[in-house]
Structure 1
Amino acid sequence: MAQSIGHLLYLVFYVAILVLCVWALVDATRRPAGGFVAAGKRTKQFWTWILVAATFLALAAVVGSGIPFLGFLTLLAAVAAIVYLVDVKPALGPSGRGPRGGGPRRPPSSTGGW
């Protein structure tokens, strides 16, 4: 009984990592390539391939949860997705053009008002 609860917890953990990896991969593929370089991060191609590998490892852990070394590799996949979501994604901004969305900035109006 305890062993089956342990396997269920691992499966839930692996599925959560898979969802995290898919979320990061989808977000990375939707961003423009120039935004990565403008934000001072690695290229879009680099992050896409890292997240594809992470998603594949997480999927392999969900499907073949009985393989012992997949647990460690799944943690590496989680680290890759977390680094993207916590470091790279915020640097890309809402439109993916560097910090704060990039684009041309207007100087503040000197005529007063709101």
Structure 2
Amino acid sequence: MLSPFPPLDLIYLDQWIMILAYYAGLVIGVFAFVHALSQKAEAYTAAERLTKPAWLGITGGGTFALLLFSLNSPGAMFWLAGLVAVLVYLVDVRPRLIEVQRGPRW
């Protein structure tokens, strides 16, 4: 016989999604900061992007916002801003840095 009540796990599905998003964002932020830290300063200028200290500040600040706030807190806007900053580095700057450091391809 089927129960008219959903399983308890489904009741808190939205909270599990928020927790997963929080930790995924935090891992992405730490990865972006460590990647920015490990690149040479000359690569940033060769890639025609901001300087290394600027990107360290952006990714570090973004990671700090991802650590400090969560999606279900009043500071969710800061969490999203931190995630956007980190994703801009990963999507725009990181591929250019890899391309510049790899050199010309034939």
Identical pairs, percent:
32
Query: Cα RMSD (Å) of the superposition?
Result: 2.3
Matched, 1:67 2:73: yes
- In 2 relative to 1, CA 42–71 (structure 1 residues): closer, same or farther, beyond 3 Å? same
Distance 2:90 2:30 in 1: 11
Moved over 4 A (4+): none
SS in structure 2 of the partner of residue 93 of structure 1: helix
The answer as to whether partners of 2:45 and 2:51 remain within 8 angstroms in 1 is: yes
Matched, 1:11 2:16: no
Structure 2 matches for 1:1-114, cutoff 5 A? 4-62=12-70, 67-68=73-74, 70-93=75-98, 98=100, 101-102=102-103
| Structure with the larger helix share | 2
Task: Give the drift of 1:66.
Answer: 5.4
Distance 2:69 2:25 in 1: 10
Aligned residues: 97
SS in structure 1 of the partner of residue 49 of structure 2: coil
TM-score by length of structure 2 reads: 0.78
Structure 2 unaligned residues grouped into runs of 5+: 1-7
Distance 1:3 1:36 in 2: 47
Give the aligned residue type for 1:101: R
SS in structure 1 of the partner of residue 48 of structure 2: coil
Structure 1 unaligned residues grouped into runs of 5+: 109-114
Give the aligned residue type for 1:6: D
Moved more, 45-54 or 72-81: 72-81
